């Protein structure tokens, strides 16, 4: 995450934004440490060490996850590393990272996982830690929404960049919400007590809410 956020931080146009993004990098490092500890001590994963655990986790992710991080986001971040002055690319990167990955996908996953564990009374320590992670994530998403709102007000080209990026990313984000083993032909699978449609509806609502904050209507 630091590899993604660091070029974004350096490209941010003012000191306060750069300071915020430094705190976000520290948050994300703590989140990785938390999940790493959970995986090691609860024994969800076989492998040891962060690199191997990440590799083992990614075997369970659907291909759209890779497209989102390794293609769509990576392209913007690489460009920012070369051209930190490119504000339009920063707008696109924040749209993907803060609005779609964190605001739409991560918070949706967190909601259903925590809701499920709370109802079942399972993994109380994990729920407690995850609640703190979600608190940080809300702070990141709020920053992203405010940044995009300010940029949209500053220049209509930025509004166009947000909309164009959402249009490009939406089908991929939708794929991320579909379990890898679900081909759409059988009955809808339930994941943490929610169907794929319920999960999608929750994610769309989350995105719409943020688009309103930014002053845009979400392209459904
Ligand atoms: Fe985050």
CA 47 – ligand 1 centroid, Å: 25
The mean pLDDT value for 21-37 works out to: 95
Distance 29 CA to ligand 1 centre (A): 10
C-alpha angle 34/36/37, rounded to 5°?
Answer: 65
More confident call, 213 vs 157: 157
What integer is the mean pLDDT of 102-118? 92
Distance of CA 5 from the midpoint of ligand 1 (Å): 10
**What's the pTM?**
0.88
CB-CB contact of 31 with 145 (8 Å): no
Mean pLDDT on 181-206:
76
Work out the average pLDDT over 33-39: 89
The alpha carbon of 140 and the centre of ligand 1 are apart by a number of angstroms equal to 6
pLDDT for res 181: 59
pLDDT tens per residue across span 67-83: 999 999 999 999 999 99
pLDDT of residue 114: 92
| pLDDT tens, residue by residue, 132-173 | 999 999 999 999 999 999 999 999 999 999 999 999 998 899
Centre of ligand 1 to C-alpha 117, Å, is 21
Residues less than 5 Å from ion ligand 1, measured at CB: 102, 137, 140
100 CA from centroid of ligand 1 (Å): 11
pLDDT at 45: 67
Report how far residue 85's alpha carbon sits from residue 87's, in angstroms, rounded to the nearest whole number. 6
| Predicted local distance difference test score (pLDDT) of residue 1 | 74
Instruction: Please tell me the least confidently modeled range out of 17-21, 172-176, 214-218.
Output: 214-218
């Amino acid at each position: 995450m630091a590899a993604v956020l660091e070029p974004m931080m350096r490209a941010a146009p003012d000191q306060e934004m750069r300071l915020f993004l430094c705190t976000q990098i520290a948050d994300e490092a703590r989140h990785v440490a938390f999940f790493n500890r959970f995986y090691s001590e609860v024994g969800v994963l076989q492998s040891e060490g962060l690199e191997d655990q990440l590799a083992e986790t990614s075997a369970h992710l659907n291909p759209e996850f890779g497209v989102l991080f390794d293609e769509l986001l990576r392209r913007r971040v690489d460009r920012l590393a070369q051209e930190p002055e490119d504000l339009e690319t920063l707008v696109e990167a924040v749209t993907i990272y803060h609005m779609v990955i964190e605001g739409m996908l991560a918070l949706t996953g967190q909601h259903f996982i925590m809701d499920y564990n709370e109802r079942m009374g399972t993994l109380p320590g994990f729920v407690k830690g995850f609640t703190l992670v979600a608190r940080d994530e809300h702070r990141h998403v709020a920053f992203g929404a405010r940044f995009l709102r300010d940029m949209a007000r500053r220049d209509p080209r930025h509004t166009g960049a947000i909309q164009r990026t959402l249009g490009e990313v939406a089908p991929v984000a939708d794929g991320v919400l579909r379990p890898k083993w679900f081909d759409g032909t059988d009955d809808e699978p339930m994941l943490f007590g929610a169907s794929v449609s319920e999960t999608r509806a929750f994610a769309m609502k989350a995105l719409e809410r943020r688009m309103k904050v930014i002053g845009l209507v979400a392209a459904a």
